[in-house]
Amino acid sequence: MAKVLPTAEYTGPLPCSLGSPSANTTGGPPIPPCEDLRGKVALVTGASTGIGFGAAKRLAAAGMKVVGTSRNPSQYTNNCTYEVPGDRCKPAGWELWPMEQSSYDSIDNLVRRINQTYGRVDLLFLNAGRGYGSSTYFPNAQGRVCNEIGQMELVMQTNFWGNVRLLLAVLPLMPKQGYGRILATSSVTAFVSLPGGMPYAASKVSMAKLAEDWLWEHYDRPTNIQYTTLYPGNVRTNVIRNSIPGCRDQQVTGPELAVYENAAYNASLNAFATATQGQSQ
């Protein structure tokens, strides 16, 4: 029987211990030690809000030198923790550098700067991306079919090809021996698409295939770099509100935005329910 998993926030301690294994207060096996991240360099894209902001914050707390990226880092100057919608919180203990994910020149400039500053990247989190807010085939709430190919291409350029460019540029900076980690954000929409979200879903399927290709190419080539893909469902971020519109002169707002957000939430829950049902069989 399908079981819908509740939305949850993870704000507690890491599920590992700093240093040697520690006793489990619940009576289970000892808690394994965390990887020692102190002094290592992390690059987290899309770090001004949402998943990227949370990841950068936790990695910095673990002792990493963290560089996050944002299209407009100068806007994030407030002392806050994103408890209020619309907050623009500045990083604490880590840096936020400019990068436009859809621009190869911007990506190359960032990699050049991080090489000059740190000379290496130990952990790369490919997290930046944009949503998409228009039906592919039918009129929207204003009776207009809004499906410009250029806007769809911009979603794929931002969410997939920008990540490919960054990954290939950063790999030479990752240690040849020892520690290396790649994380990439896909989405449950790689499995369950949303109404009006075809370009976004296609970009997230592509991110999943990027990881599969890595695994196949390294099947018989030992490497110390580990690649992990995340498939988050409903997460409290601004990805929908900052979606790329299907037509350049129109943005999803008001009642239409509320309908789209609700559809995204329900599809996320359905994806979790389907996954749970499959695991129980």
User: Over the stretch 31-45, which tens digit does the pLDDT of each residue have?
Assistant: 777 778 889 999 999
List the domain boundaries for the chain.
41-280
Provide the pLDDT confidence category of residue 189 given band limits of 50, 70 and 90: confident
Based on the number of CB atoms within 10 Å of its own CB, is 140 exposed (0-12), middle (13-18) or buried (19 or more)? buried
Residue 269: the pLDDT is 47
Q: Which residues face 172 on adjacent strands?
A: none
Q: Is 218 helix (H, G, I), strand (E, B) or coil?
A: coil
Work out the percent of the chain whose per-residue pLDDT is above 70. Answer: 68
Residue 190: the pLDDT is 83
Are 183 and 267 a contacting pair, CB within 8 Å? Answer: no
Q: Where are the beta strands (DSSP E) in the chain?
A: 41-44, 65-70, 95-98, 123-126, 180-185, 225-230
- When the candidates are 2.60.120.10, 3.30.70.1140, 3.40.50.720, 3.40.1280.10, the CATH number that belongs to 41-280 is 3.40.50.720
Lookup: tokens for 48: 């001004």
Q: What mean pLDDT do residues 2-26 have?
A: 54
Residue 120: the pLDDT is 95
Residue 16: the pLDDT is 66
For residue range 237-266, what is the model confidence (pLDDT) as tens digits?
A: 555 555 555 555 555 554 455 544 454 445
Cα–Cα distance for residue pair 10/12, rounded to 1 Å: 6
Residue 182: the pLDDT is 95
* CA dihedral sign of residues 277, 259, 81, 56: positive
Q: Is the pTM of this model over 0.85?
A: no
Residue 8: the pLDDT is 43
* CA dihedral sign of residues 98, 99, 105, 110: positive
- 51-71 b/e (C-beta count within 10 Å ≥ 16 → b): bbbbbbbebbebebbbbbbbb
